Amino acid sequence: MKIVVIGSGVIGVATAYFLRRRGYEVTVIDRENGPGRETSFANGALLTPSMASPWNAPGTWKVLLASLGRSNAAMQLRLRALPALAGWGITFLRNSRPKMFQHNALCNLRLALYSMERMRTLRRETRIDYGRAARGTLNIFRDEAMWSHAAKSAQQWLREGLSICVLSRRETIELESGLAPIAERLAGAIYNEGDETGDAYRFCVALTDYARQEGVEFRFRTEVSTLKLCAGRVIAAVTEQGPVVADRYIVAAGSYSAPLLRRIGVHLPIRPVKGYSLTFDCQETPRPLSIPVVDAQLRAVVVPLESGIRVAGTAEFAGYNRTMKLDRVRALGMVVKEVLPQAHLDAATARSWCGLRPMSADGVPLIGRMQVENLMVSTGHGHLGWTMAAGSAQLLTDLVSGDYSSIDPAPYDPKRFGRAE
């Protein structure tokens, strides 16, 4: 069977790898000049089952409403994006009700934990290097009430398989001495031992090289303008270089999956949410930070990499606008100063980046068959694409093959939304 995968981010490349391992003839198409050049390029660099909760937590509507006109809001809604969010936004907010939010968070957690297992297998099989480090993450809290609430919630996550430890202020500093300068501002932290660090872009490049040697064909600088239908089936992916014909087509193009499929009357409840990152080259030895820090109040992460420090965060509902907003960049610069005030990291010298995360209307990814017979999707992972990449790829491969899957595919079925966007 010939399969075309559209998109070469972490989801698309991992999917191609798993499909090829199952014996399929795979071609990956991407408009960029190489793999991982868009949302996977400079993301938060964290594989974090501990952050499985969707972004539409109870009370999100208040946060979004308060963000209007505030350039420094961690989660921000731009007025010009409102028309495109109308129907999707209703579903997004409906799923913020406590019971639905909790259900969706558990669905994400199960896929995230499954994905970490599949990633271990992938590393063993390929021996690729993407700067992985298994140091966990520290979720820090400045507010006593928020810390107390997180500590109580940790008990449930423990039952679901997360390895979590609630730390006092003193224990937090003992574990991560880089936070000593802000010790007096901290109430405590949650240490998530099972989280990992890894460069998603390096992963995409390394796995592409490996998959190519295994027989996967990659066509870069090739944009799919539409899919050609005949008798209820896709018969070709249409590009400027000519049609690409296969037996099955998998759309894993992140946020751009929705407009591509809309051209053939297939509607995905996916909207782009812009995120930013700053990457600092850091020559200090030892590094000013050894364990990645998740700042609950600032809604950002500060991550030590092999060659520096990356700070990433913000959620901006601004449609498909990829313009780099200087106020958002400055806000991330302030995050570094808040978390590592003595590290002397200058935002003016950092490499800034922004990308569009594909957010589904309920915060759970869409993985599986669409209404069109030989069309499948894997998108809508939001901030968890890197975390869920290997598990999503394995699940989709099982669905293609008709094999039993170790994880229930029902919660991720794209048809769960019906026709609505």
Please report which helix (H) or strand (E) contains residue 309, including its range.
Answer: strand 308-317
Bridge partners (DSSP) of residue 133 are 197
Quick one: which of 197, 198, 204 has its CA closest to 12? 204
Helices (H), 68-199: 82-94, 98-126, 144-159, 169-175
Give the up-direction half-sphere exposure of residue 237: CA atoms within 13 A in the CB hemisphere. Answer: 28
Question: Domain 2-136+194-417 maps to which CATH number in 2.30.30.40, 3.50.50.60, 3.10.450.350, 3.30.70.260?
Answer: 3.50.50.60
Helices (H) and strands (E) in the chain, counts: 10, 19
Provide φ and ψ at 376, rounded to 5°: -130, 160
Q: Check residue 74 and give its pLDDT.
A: 61
Q: Check residue 38 and give its pLDDT.
A: 95
Intervals of CATH 3.50.50.60 along the chain: 2-136+194-417
* The pair of three-digit structure tokens given for residue 278, joined into one six-digit string: 């700053």
Residue 290 and residue 199: Cα distance in Å, rounded? 16
Q: Check residue 155 and give its pLDDT.
A: 83
The tens digit of pLDDT for each residue in 31-80 reads 999 999 999 999 999 999 999 999 888 876 556 555 555 555 565 565 55
Q: Check residue 420 and give its pLDDT.
A: 44
Please report which helix (H) or strand (E) contains residue 10, including its range.
Answer: helix 10-21
Q: Check residue 71 and give its pLDDT.
A: 58
CB contact at 8 A, 405 and 399: yes
Residue 286 and residue 155: Cα distance in Å, rounded? 34
* The pair of three-digit structure tokens given for residue 123, joined into one six-digit string: 């590393």
Average pLDDT per 10 consecutive residues for the chain, totaling 421 residues: 98 98 98 96 95 84 56 58 70 89 95 98 97 96 90 85 94 96 95 96 98 98 97 96 97 97 95 93 80 88 92 87 88 91 88 95 96 96 97 98 94 83 52
Residue 176 and residue 158: Cα distance in Å, rounded? 22
DSSP codes, 12-24: HHHHHHHHHHTT-
Please name the residue that has the structure tokens 């590009």.
239
Residue 366 and residue 370: Cα distance in Å, rounded? 10
Please name the residue that has the structure tokens 């806000």.
331
DSSP state of 381: B
Q: What percent of the chain has pLDDT over 90?
A: 75
Helix axes 98-126, 10-21, angle to 10 degrees: 60
Q: Check residue 60 and give its pLDDT.
A: 67
* The pair of three-digit structure tokens given for residue 415, joined into one six-digit string: 């048809």
pTM: 0.93
| Alpha-carbon distance values, 405 to 11, 129, 386 (Å) | 18, 27, 20
Q: Check residue 297 and give its pLDDT.
A: 78
